Structure 1
C-alpha cells in the first residue's frame, strides 16, 4: 500500500495498478457494511440491470411471449430487483446517492434497449 502524508500523519492510500484501483472484490456485492461511492454503486446497478435485461429478453423470446404486458412485467421485475438489492441487501442511504430516482434509473434505458433487442431477435429467429 502506498502511504501519503496528510496533516503530519501517514495514511494508507488504495493501491493503484496502471492508474486504476486494485481489483474489485465480489464479496463487497453482498456486504451491507461496505462503503460505496456513487460511481461504484452506479456501475454495479447498471450491470445487474443489463444482465437481467439479457436473460429476460432471451427467455421472453424463446418461450415465446408477446404483448405489452410482458414489457411492463420486465420493467417491474427489473426495478423491484434493483430496489431490493440496494435498499435491503446493501442498506445504502438513498439520499446520499441522489434519492430513489437516481438509483432506480441507473442503467434503465440501456437495459430496455438490450431487453427489446434480445427479445425481438430471439423471437424472430426462433419462431418465424
Structure 2
C-alpha cells in the first residue's frame, strides 16, 4: 500500500474507505423516501425506469398490433406519469433540489422514446409480416 502525503498509511486507508462510502447505492434505497439522493443517482434511476417502460410498452404495442400516432402520445403520458409518481409519491424528493419538474421529467425521455419505437417496429414487423 502506498503511503499518503502525510506519511501515515492508516490515514490513506481511512480516506479510501470514506471515498468508497461517499454515496453508496443499494436497491433498498429505490423505495425509501428517507434516503439521500444526489442529482446523478436520481437521474440514473429515472433514466433506467424509463428504458424499462419503453421496452415493455414497445413490445406490447408491436405484439398486439397497435398502429397510429396516438400510441406514441399514450406512451409519453404513461412514461411521464410513472416517473412523476415515482419521484414525487414514492421518493418524496423536493424537485427544486434537482432542477424542477422539467429536468426530472426529461431525464431519459428521448432515449426511451427511441427504444419504444424500435421495439414497437421490430415486434410488429416480426410478429405480423
TM-score range, shorter chain: 0.7 to 0.9
Structure 1: tracts of 5 or more residues without a match: 5-11
Following TM superposition, where does structure 1 have runs of at least 4 consecutive aligned residues deviating by more than 6 angstroms? none
- 1 CA distance for matches of 2:54 and 2:36? 27
Higher strand share: 1
Higher helix share: 2
CA RMSD of aligned residues (A): 1.8
Between Structure 1 and Structure 2, how many residues are aligned?
116
- 2 CA distance for matches of 1:45 and 1:31? 15
- 2 CA distance for matches of 1:60 and 1:67? 10
Alignment partner of 1:13 out of 7, 14, 18: 18
Alignment partner of 1:3 out of 11, 14, 18: 14
Structure 2: tracts of 5 or more residues without a match: 1-12
**Structure possessing the higher radius of gyration over alpha carbons:** 2
- Aligned pairs for 1:1-128 (under 5 A) are 3-4=14-15, 13-15=18-20, 24-128=25-129
Indicate the structure whose relative CO is greater, using CA pairs within 8 Å and at least 6 residues apart.
2
TM-score by length of 2: 0.84
- 2 CA distance for matches of 1:21 and 1:90? 17
TM-score by length of 1: 0.85
